[in-house]
Chain A
Amino acid sequence: MSDTVETDVVIIGAGPVGLFAVFELGLLDLKCHLIDILDRPGGQCAELYPEKPIYDIPGLPEVSGQELTDNLMKQIAPFSPQFHFSQMVTGLERNADGSFGIVTDEGTRFCARAVVIAAGGGSFQPKRPPIPGIEAYEGSSVFYSVRRIDAFRDEDVIIVGGGDSALDWTLSLEKVARSVTLVHRRAEFRAAPDSVKRMWALHEEGRVAFRMGQVTALDGVDGQVSSVAVKTADGEESLAATRVLPFFGLTMKLGPVANWGLNLDQNLIGVDTEKFETSEPGIFAVGDINTYPGKLKLILSGFHEVALMSQAAKRIIHPDQKVVFQYTTSSSALQKKLKAA
């Protein structure tokens, strides 16, 4: 993990705009590594609306978020982009030679000549329930994911939520925990029907408890939960608990981007409209995360932005080379890069 990845460009965010940046940069012979906190490409298209139709992509009268992602992955394949998923960029700084050092929360290090921030609304992170004082328990007895099953062995676990994460972990942790209680606001679940069936079967056997209600308070000391208050139709009930796992889906947070010394305007990064460069030369921002007069948060705007950004990035990385503007339709050189010729 200590080896540093050397590349022309690091792209932060693998949503549609980050993916298309690979294409435009690739036509100019620039190699890209992409980093995304999600475990797959597509960004909001993958996480928020994979099945929803999008109607305003030029040339595609109707396309789903997943189809658009799949098509972009196909389109950029000739440029062999390297992906680093399930990681969040935590550090970005300029090296003495003008290049950029980038490090993720997994400890992966990069050295790049230019950085493209295509982070959309920020990084997708678990939703935090608005329970007073919950922050004090996070990481010690309240968790938003299961990294080590052993951390739940012989514990009294409360799992909150009604989707696949809640159901899957109810089924898995039941085997090791001292007790598992599933708390959900209704008796219907959005999870895979088979998981729901298995959960009810365990409930029948008395191995999994279920409460229809919502968690309203946590009690404990020194970051260690001892009980949770659950509001049900019959009133409020206190349940003994040593571990709590809330699963309410993901939400976008700006995260570490705020700490990189860039000019921010209401959580957006200010850029010029010629190069889409930030207040730091060599760091570009494209797509939903940038702002400029007249900005529209549309995927097609992001596509336009990466085309212009790429020209500017090329001049920074290879100041000695002349940038020749060419069309993929007529340039045999570009077609060769696309392996289309």
Chain B
Amino acid sequence: MFINVTDQQGRRHRLEALEGFRVMEVIRDWGLDIKAECGGACACATCHVHVGGDWQDRLHAPLDEEIDRLDEAFDVRDNSRLSCQLLMSEELDGLEVRLAPGTERDRRDAA
């Protein structure tokens, strides 16, 4: 199965995904630029994605924890999700997501 991920520069990538992996892990393991610094604990909001097409309605609803954590993300929209909270399964084959602003890894832009 595959997911389609548009990166922060607007490039679309078709990534093979394995059942049971988090969407964040698929994006990270294929080497795309995703900070995901808490490693999937729903604790940092740096794996924020905008879900494309009609996929939002086909995903399980977010838990309160995920909705709360989105408060620390940027450009949050109705179709915002944390990709570490989306588990790959056959139903998600073909999922479309776009990496949201603020998910880029540190590029030594010492604040």
Contact = CB atoms under 8 A, between A and B. Distances in A.
Given A162-B71, A190-B68, A49 B35 contact: no
A161 B71 contact: yes
Contact of B37 (A121, A130, A185): A121
A298 to B, nearest CB: 11
B90 interface: no
Contact of B110 (A163, A248, A258): A258
A248 B74 contact: yes
A185 B73 CA distance: 10
Nearest to A185: B76
A258 B106 CA distance: 12
Given A258-B110, A267-B108, A49 B74 contact: no
Given A127-B102, A248-B74, A49 B108 contact: no
Contacts of B76: 185, 214
Interface in B84-111: 101-102, 105-106, 108-111
A253 B68 contact: no
B43 A128 contact: no
Interface string B6-19: 00000000000000
B71 A185 contact: yes
B41 interface: yes
B75 interface: yes
Nearest to B68: A190
Q: Which applies to chain A's interface (DSSP): helix, strand, loop or mixed?
A: loop
A125 B74 contact: no
Nearest to B110: A255
Contacts of A138: 111
Given A251-B46, A252-B106, A127 B72 contact: yes
Q: How large is the interface on B (under 10, 10 to 19, 20 to 34, 35 or more residues)?
A: 20 to 34
A121 B39 CA distance: 12
Contacts of A163: 71-72
B27 interface: no
B106 A48 contact: no
Contacts of B35: 251
A178 to B, nearest CB: 27
B104 to A, nearest CB: 9
Interface string B25-36: 000000000010
A125 to B, nearest CB: 5
Given A48-B44, A256-B110, A267-B108, A248 B72 contact: yes
A161 B72 CA distance: 8
B106 A52 contact: no
Contacts of A214: 74-76
A253 B37 CA distance: 10
Nearest to A252: B37
Interface string A213-246: 0100000000000000000000000000000000
A292 B74 CA distance: 34
A122 B105 CA distance: 12
Contacts of B75: 130, 214
A52 B111 contact: no
B60 to A, nearest CB: 20
Given A122-B106, A190-B71, A52 B43 contact: yes
Interface string A95-115: 000000000000000000000
Interface in A5-62: 44, 48-49, 52
Contacts of B45: 249
Given A48-B38, A162-B71, A126 B111 contact: yes
Nearest to B106: A253
A49 B110 contact: no
A63 interface: no
Given A162-B71, A184-B71, A125 B111 contact: yes
A161 B71 CA distance: 7
Given A49-B38, A249-B45, A253-B109, 12 more contacts: A44-B38, A48-B38, A48-B44, A49-B41, A126-B111, A130-B102, A185-B76, A248-B74, A251-B37, A252-B37, A253-B108, A254-B110
